[in-house]
Amino acid sequence: MTHIPEADKQYFADARSFQYMGKLTYLINPDHNVSVSITGTPTSTGGTGKLAIDPRSGGLPGARVARPGAFGLTETLSSTTAVNMKYAGAFADKKILLDVNAGYFHQLASTLPSDGSTPGDITGDGLAGLSRATYVFERSITDFEDVPGAGTLCDPIPYPSEDEDGNPITAEALPCAVNNYSVGGPAC
CA dist 144 and 78 (Å) reads: 34
Cα Rg, the chain, nearest whole Å: 28
The 10s digit of each residue's pLDDT in 97-144 is 999 999 999 999 888 888 878 777 777 777 777 777 788 888 888 888
The pTM for the full model equals: 0.61
Compute the distance between CA of residue 102 and CA of residue 88 in angstroms, rounded to an integer: 12
Per-residue pLDDT, 174: 84
Residue 76, classified by CB atoms within 10 Å of its CB into exposed (0-12), middle (13-18) or buried (19+), is buried
For 35-45, the pLDDT digits (tens) are: 999 999 999 98
Domain boundaries, the chain: 12-184
Euclidean distance between CA atoms 164 and 183, whole angstroms: 33
